[in-house]
């Protein structure tokens, strides 16, 4: 990557965050490149210095989100806390991201930009799976997780829960908030994979974890 391209990317990253907010507010299909440049306060010619087309713009947003995700997960992994704390923080981040993808946005991405969206989802889930493998390994070494777990099965089930919690018609009809469902799902997961020491630790942190979840809602 040459120096000029790197400088353009650095200038464009704050705009990508703004564009992402615009898409969540107005939908992807409802905004054309003229609308986007106008709302950014730049000319369309300037916008096309950064991207070639709207599809290229979507790809750049996915690239930006993936980069941001990797940086945040790396930051969480470096924290001086145990595996249960790290798993909660990463899980909450995944959950909050899934919650932002409202049904309209998901419909538009799957209908008009499916190859890009599927590639992004596949890369994201692969990174989540890697993070979970490391977490399971660390939690076992810390004596918080059981040593007899089938790691790949645990990862597959938990990731499916994180994704499907937003798509369950039954849960939508049961008058349960998604935040409450997440809290229950996380607790059940921890109790299923933890040793007695892990469960005991979770019990000491259960109320504080609930408070963190409540704060993320506001």
User: Using an 8 Å Cβ cutoff, are 188 and 165 in contact?
Assistant: no
**What is the CATH class of 1-61?**
mainly alpha
Specify the higher pLDDT residue, 99 or 92: 92
In sequence order, the β-bridge partners of residue 194 are 145
Digit-coded pLDDT (tens) for 19-70: 999 998 999 999 999 999 999 999 999 999 999 999 999 999 999 999 999 9
Cα–Cα distance for residue pair 55/141, rounded to 1 Å? 45
pLDDT of residue 19: 96
CB environment 118-143: b (16+ within 10 A), e (fewer): eebeeebeeebbebbeebbebbbeeb
pTM exceeds cut of 0.85:
no
What is the domain partition of the chain in residue ranges? 1-61, 81-217
Q: Is the dihedral of CA 215, 102, 68, 17 positive or negative?
A: negative
In sequence order, the β-bridge partners of residue 145 are 194
Q: Among candidates 25, 170, 174, 165, which has minimal Cα distance to 94? A: 165
Position 133 confidence tier, pLDDT thresholds 50, 70, 90: very high
Query: In this model, does residue 135 exceed pLDDT 80?
Result: yes
Return the percentage of the chain with pLDDT > 70, whole number: 87
Helix (H, G, I), strand (E, B) or coil at 145: strand
Q: Among candidates 185, 216, 207, 191, which has minimal Cα distance to 89? A: 216
- Our separate counts of H helices and E strands in the chain read 11, 0
Distances in Å between the Cα of 61 and the Cα atoms of 21, 25, 26, 28 are 11, 15, 16, 12
Digit-coded pLDDT (tens) for 142-186: 999 999 999 999 999 988 887 777 665 555 555 667 778 888 889
């Amino acid at each position: 990557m040459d120096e000029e391209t790197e400088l353009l990317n650095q200038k464009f990253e704050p705009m990508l965050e703004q564009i992402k907010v615009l898409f969540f507010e107005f939908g992807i299909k409802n905004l054309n490149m003229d609308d986007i440049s106008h709302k950014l306060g730049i000319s369309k010619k300037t916008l096309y210095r950064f991207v070639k087309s709207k599809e290229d713009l979507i790809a750049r947003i996915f690239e930006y989100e993936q980069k941001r995700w990797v940086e945040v997960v790396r930051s969480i992994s470096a924290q001086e806390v145990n595996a249960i704390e790290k798993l909660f923080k990463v899980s909450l981040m995944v959950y909050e991201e899934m919650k932002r993808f409202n049904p309209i946005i998901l419909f538009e991405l799957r209908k008009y930009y499916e190859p890009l969206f599927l590639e992004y989802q596949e890369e994201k889930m692969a990174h989540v799976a890697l993070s979970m493998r490391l977490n399971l390994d660390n939690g076992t070494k810390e004596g918080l997780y059981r040593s007899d777990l089938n790691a790949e099965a645990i990862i597959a089930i938990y990731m499916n829960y994180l994704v499907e919690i937003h798509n369950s018609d039954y849960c939508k009809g049961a008058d349960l908030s998604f935040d409450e469902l997440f809290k229950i799902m996380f607790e059940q997961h921890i109790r299923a994979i933890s040793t007695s020491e892990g469960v005991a630790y979770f019990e000491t942190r259960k109320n504080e974890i609930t408070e963190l979840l409540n704060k993320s809602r506001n």
